[in-house]
Amino acid sequence: MKKMIAALAALMAANAAFAAEGPLVEGVYGEFGTASKVRMARAGATKNWDPSWSWFDSNGTHLTGYWDASIGYWQLRQYRNVPGDKSHIVDIGFTPVFRFENTNKLGAYAELGIGAHVMSHHYDNNDDGLSTAFQFGDHIGVGYVFNKNWEVAVKFQHFSNGSIKKPNSGVDYGVVKLAYRF
């Protein structure tokens, strides 16, 4: 947890340093997810895509997106399929995310992202295995922006190495997210 806070502080400092060219970070978030015999907590930073990258503008809605950089902590509760044996994984990810939203950026939205993640070691938990440190992380979710700053979301997230190497049973999470935009 201390490393996650230090990384977030470093990101905020970098944001201030690049403020003359526009902020490096436009939002931060925290997530909590759960799956079979594993829990996940994640912190991240986001940057909206260039405003000219907007498609399907119609009836006050459009398709746009953002860049997402994250660091997560996974708590495995059945490591190597031994009940009660625990371990953890740290995961660093980068994901481009498409978002269908209102043009005023308020109210309901839907999003989809597919990104790359690197894990501190291989996942081996509850009869599931991911044999590589590199993983694809994809998600689909819905959320609501309450004002220009706060949003909440629920997502389904899947991790897999894309069958680069076996075993590759994948890990599926239900995730809740709380975000703040500057």
Residue in 62, 131, 138, 160 annotated catalytic = 160
Instruction: DSSP for 17-63, please give it.
Output: HTGGGS-S--EEEEEEEEETTEEEEEEEEEEEPPTT--EEEETTEEE
Distance in angstroms (rounded) separating the CA atoms of residues 149 and 128: 38
* Catalytic (active site) residue 88: no
In 10 A of CB 166, how many CB atoms? Answer: 10
The residues, any chain, with a CB within 8 Å of residue 9's CB and separated by 6 or more, are none
Residue in 62, 122, 158, 169 annotated catalytic = 158
Distance in angstroms (rounded) separating the CA atoms of residues 100 and 110: 5
* Catalytic (active site) residue 172: yes
Q: How many residues are present in the chain?
A: 182
* Catalytic (active site) residue 62: no
> Residue 40 pairs with which residues in a beta bridge?
33, 74
| Residues 42 and 33: beta-carbon distance below 8 Å | yes
Residue in 122, 131, 138, 172 annotated catalytic = 172
Helix (H) or strand (E) holding 99: strand 87-102
Active site residues: 158, 160, 172
